[in-house]
Amino acid sequence: MNLALYRGLICCLVGLCACSSPANKRAIDIKDLKKVQAAEAQNAPPEPARDALTAAELIALAECRNLDCVQFFMKNLSDDFVHATKGEFAALHRSLVIDTSGKELIIPLSTLYVDINPQASWRLAHTLHRKEMSNRLLDEFQRLGFVLVDSGYNRNIKGVRARFTSLQYPGKVLYTSHTYQPWYWKGLYKYVTWPCFVFEVYNIRQ
């Protein structure tokens, strides 16, 4: 065989082997994967910015007297909260919560529950699952002028419930409680083994 032709044939075979080698396939696959990941990241919904409602938002929600009103309000907060089921909203961000036995739980850090039972009195409760979050929210209310009026044991939640009012928000009443029964046998609160910090704001002038 002609030497030049032989060398050309060898070069072609080497080239074909290189193109079909697993290393090259991996390089191509990784490059494509990065493109797909970049596109997914660009189209992904924004990460939740917070884990709880603010004092101002709870005061605004106190004007609601039905579920439709609450749903409309929470729709504007859909980047941070999901409407889990009728009357139940939960923070999209899930994180670690330690229960009374030391067990680690990954759950939403807060919820907003509305009483949709027509036979029951209106109730709207924002429940936080970390004490530091409760402290921050209570501090927000205190900066809005809310001061402790009184407190007492509440049989429904099996815990002490404190009442606050503010001269800046006449007619609004804030109730706070630390309990293991924030909402009777519903949704996330069927089997509660972690401390819950409940905030409720009502408009007593309605």
Q: Output the pLDDT for position 9.
A: 47
Looking at the fold, whether 31 and 81 belong to one and the same domain comes out as no
Q: What is the pTM of this model?
A: 0.77
Looking at the fold, whether 32 and 90 belong to one and the same domain comes out as no
Q: Output the pLDDT for position 205.
A: 77
Looking at the fold, whether 121 and 191 belong to one and the same domain comes out as yes
Distances (CA, A) of 55 to 7, 156, 173: 81, 24, 12
Q: Output the pLDDT for position 102.
A: 94
Q: 81 with 74: CB under 8 angstroms? A: yes
Looking at the fold, whether 71 and 132 belong to one and the same domain comes out as yes
Cα separation, 155 vs 197, whole angstroms:
16
Structure tokens at 196: 């819950």
Looking at the fold, whether 125 and 29 belong to one and the same domain comes out as no
Cα separation, 84 vs 82, whole angstroms:
6
Looking at the fold, whether 76 and 24 belong to one and the same domain comes out as no
Range of the domain at 30: 3-43
Looking at the fold, whether 33 and 91 belong to one and the same domain comes out as no
Looking at the fold, whether 27 and 59 belong to one and the same domain comes out as no
The 147-154 sheet, strands edge to edge:
81-85, 88-91, 110-114, 124-128, 196-203, 172-179, 159-165, 147-154
Between the CA atoms of 72, 199, 115 and 84, what dihedral angle is there, to the nearest 10 degrees?
A: 60
Domain count for the chain: 2
Looking at the fold, whether 28 and 115 belong to one and the same domain comes out as no
Beta bridge pairs of residue 88: 85, 113
For the chain, which ranges sit under pLDDT 50? 3, 5-6, 9-10, 13-14, 16-19, 41
Looking at the fold, whether 38 and 139 belong to one and the same domain comes out as no
